[in-house]
Amino acid sequence: MRKLAIFDIDGTIARHGVIDPTAIDGIKHLQSMGYTTTLCTGRGYFPMRNAIGAAFHEVVSDDALIVLEHGARIVTKAGKTVFAEYLGFYEIDYIIDFIRANIDILRFSWYNPEDVSRKLQMWRKDPNDADELHKKHGDYSEIFSCSLTDYKERLMTEKVANIEARLASHVKVHNLKLALTHTPVNVLFLDDNMSFLKNNMNKGIAILYLLKHLHVAYDDLLVAGNAINDVEMLDLDAGRRILVGPADERTTVLAYLSNHESIIQIDSPTDLGQYLQTF
């Protein structure tokens, strides 16, 4: 019977943008035990490859599918889309109106193109941010500036699975999910970002697709995450469900889970790697 292990990146197998070597060792040990290993992240394909770096081929099995953009897109290891739930014109119009109404608390916005050979597309509100944004995000982003109306028109011409926005520095919201009224759109607040996606999409639903596609039983599934966008996958009836992070952050995520008695709680990516090597 095939076994599958799925990992979030930031805060789960990586710390401060660096993939933990002990976590990699743990994942490689799982592969030696017959597991297919892969990623389930809020990032798009290009930013995911940038974040995972040289560890990509060690972490993601050759025949694996990867869950991206909080579950709204599933791709092959090479980046070919096999499933996506795209935002429609109505949702995009609503999201742009929401951004316009709250523009004072936002700095910039971005989306991931369907074509994985293209970089993340980042819209900046303030042209004076250009140098700072290029320094921080230029390796994996194309940065542009235009009116919100033109930004909307640009989004309408693309196949977009989710839209993100960065909160201003004085706005502090973490681990919050909102369902907007009168539209099928959810908003995730995570790591100073707002993420807009259809409300029938999340990491848990995407993983159910993988289980069916790869013929994996629930008991042979391992999931590991650390944040609010991992709640649905941590709520699956998986054989092993691992919540990674400091105690106070774990407590916040546990409050969202409907069944947390069997959750394995681990302090850090290093500890996760050590735990995986005990199998």
> What CA–CA distance (Å, rounded) separates 99 from 103?
5
pTM of the model: 0.92
Q: Kindly state the tokens that stand for 201.
A: 């999409």
Dihedral (Cα; 13, 23, 214, 88), 10-degree rounding: 10
Which helix (H) or strand (E) element contains residue 69?
none
Please say whether the beta carbons of 185 and 198 come within 8 A: yes
Fill in the DSSP letter of residue 42: S
Q: How far apart are CA 234 and CA 218, in angstroms?
A: 12
pLDDT tens digit string along 162-178? Answer: 999 999 989 888 778 88
What b/e string do you get for 251-275 counting C-beta neighbours within 10 Å, with b at 16 or more?
eebeebbeebeebebbebbbbbbeb
55-69, 82-96, 128-142, 224-238: which has the minimum mean pLDDT?
A: 128-142
Tens of pLDDT, residue by residue over 172-210, are 887 788 887 788 899 999 888 999 999 888 999 999 999
C-alpha 191: how far from chain center:
11
Contacts of 142 (CB under 8 A, 6+ apart): 118, 119, 120, 121, 122
The two three-digit tokens of residue 278, written as one number:
């005990």
Q: Which amino acid is at 221?
A: L
pLDDT tens-place string over residues 260-278 = 888 999 999 999 999 999 9
Q: How far, in Å, CA of 245 to CA of 249, rounded?
A: 6
pLDDT grade, residue 243 (50/70/90)? very high
